[in-house]
Amino acid sequence: MVYLILGLILWTAAHLFKRALPDLRARMGNAGKGLVALGVLAGLVLMVIGYRQAEFVNVWFPPVWMVHANNLMMLGAVFLYGMSATKGRLRGAIRHPQLTAVKVWAVAHLLVNGDLAAMVLFGGLLAWAVLEVVVINMSEDWQRPAPGPAKKDVLLVVITVAMFLVIIGIHIWLGVWPFPGGRS
């Protein structure tokens, strides 16, 4: 669990570095970008190692039907994440689509994972995403981008469904069955 917590701390610190110490980050130039990237990657590796090594401590038993809520929320999270790159009508519909996607992803996973390590991982990333939004909103103004053509939103929906299917495949490959009940 120590590696998991250290990973969350490093992930958060690396992401907040630019806004917490903007003068230092600016003086570092490209080396600062590399340091942030290294911190994010190291935090991610520590989180994965820490989560995989954590002792299973059950805190609650999620009901089986909650998997449906998780899957629906995950489809929404993939869509929200994609909104950050869309050039369609939805462009600029919300200020932080990627961070909103992380929040939806984290809550969805908290609904279906009742163990302590999952609560630390997904709860920690939820807290980071909320903190990141607050810090960004306090440090910069936002100019809503002009919407683009509707056909780009159709493309976003197609890409969302394709990515969702890929994510399902990855879960199955990792041995995590993302549907109610066991594998037949």
In tens, the pLDDT along 120-171 reads 999 999 999 999 999 999 988 999 988 899 999 999 999 999 999 999 999 9
- Are 75 and 9 contained in the same domain? no
* Stated pTM of the model: 0.91
Q: Are 47 and 120 in contact (CB under 8 A)?
A: no
| Domain shared by 92 and 174, yes or no | yes
Model pLDDT for residues 162-173, shown as the tens digit of each residue? 999 999 999 999
72 shares its domain with 154: yes
- Assess whether 25 and 115 both reside in one domain: no
Domain carrying residue 95 = 56-184
Residues 89 and 48 in one domain: no
Instruction: Please tell me the predicted confidence (pLDDT) of residue 183.
Output: 59
Specify which of 28-37, 51-60, 174-183 reaches the highest per-range mean pLDDT: 51-60
The domain tally of the chain equals 2
Q: Same domain, yes or no, for 88 and 106? A: yes
Residue given tokens 């629906």 in the structure block: 72
Q: What is the chain's Cα-based Rg? A: 18
Shared domain check, 137 and 63? yes
Measured CA distances, 34 to 29, 38, 50, 81, 83 (Å): 9, 6, 24, 24, 26
Of the residues 9, 37, 54, the one at which a domain ends: 54
Q: Are residues 37 and 50 in the same domain?
A: yes
Residue 95 sits at the vertex; the CA angle it makes with 94 and 98, to the nearest 5 degrees, is 90
